[in-house]
Amino acid sequence: MSKQAFQDSYPAEFSHCYGCGRDNPHGLQLKSYWHLSADKEHTIAHFTPKPYHTGGVPDNAYGGLIASLLDCHGTASAAAAAYKAQGRDMGTAPILRFVTASLSVDFLRPTPMENKLTILGEVIQLEGRKATVKLSLSTNDQLCATGTMIAVALK
């Protein structure tokens, strides 16, 4: 299985995303990978907030940052799962790219700053152009946020 980040397989013209574009120097540059645990196949990404990613309280991360991390990890996970379902390596033609149609986030507890965050994804359904992705964000073994995304493949 490839160790390449999903986002590093995107063509250059799709690499400017604020959340995950490798060619966006002002963005978060999130990188997502397959992650095989004992029972399930997940996707995983890590991110360590910088002091300027805080919300109203300096010790805690901004909720929009958390939503952004789930957003980009979710669409990347949808693309990876769709390529896998077609038995193709990511990035091979025809290009499969997903955008977010809906994203709900439950903020379960404040997310501490300057800790490494772990974002997990699981594509629970792939049907036609639509993927449903379950998402979570945790740190220090504490679940801070969960999300559900509907991602739709661009025509």
Ligand X SMILES: CCCCC/C=C\C/C=C\C/C=C\C/C=C\CCCC(=O)SCCNC(=O)CCNC(=O)[C@H](O)C(C)(C)COP(=O)(O)OP(=O)(O)OC[C@H]1O[C@@H](n2cnc3c(N)ncnc32)[C@H](O)[C@@H]1OP(=O)(O)O
Measure the CA–CA gap between 135 and 61, rounded to whole angstroms: 17
50 Cβ partners below 8 Å, 6+ apart? 114
Between 131 and 150, how does the x/- string for binding to ligand X read (CB under 6 A)?
-------------------x
Least Å from the CB of residue 100 to ligand X: 4
What is the footprint of ligand X within residues 81-110 (CB under 6 A)?
97, 99-102
Query: Which of residues 32, 60, 75, 111 is near ligand X by CB under 6 A?
Result: 75
Question: Is 146 within 8 Å of 108 (Cβ atoms)?
Answer: yes
Element (DSSP H or E) covering residue 100:
strand 98-107
Residue 121 within binding range of ligand X, rule CB under 6 A: no
Token code pair at residue 55: 């919300």
Q: Least Å distance between CB 59 and ligand X?
A: 27
Neighbours of 79 (CB within 10 A): 25
The binding site for ligand X (CB under 6 A) comprises 10, 14, 17, 19-20, 71-72, 75, 97, 99-102, 128-130, 150, 152, 154-155
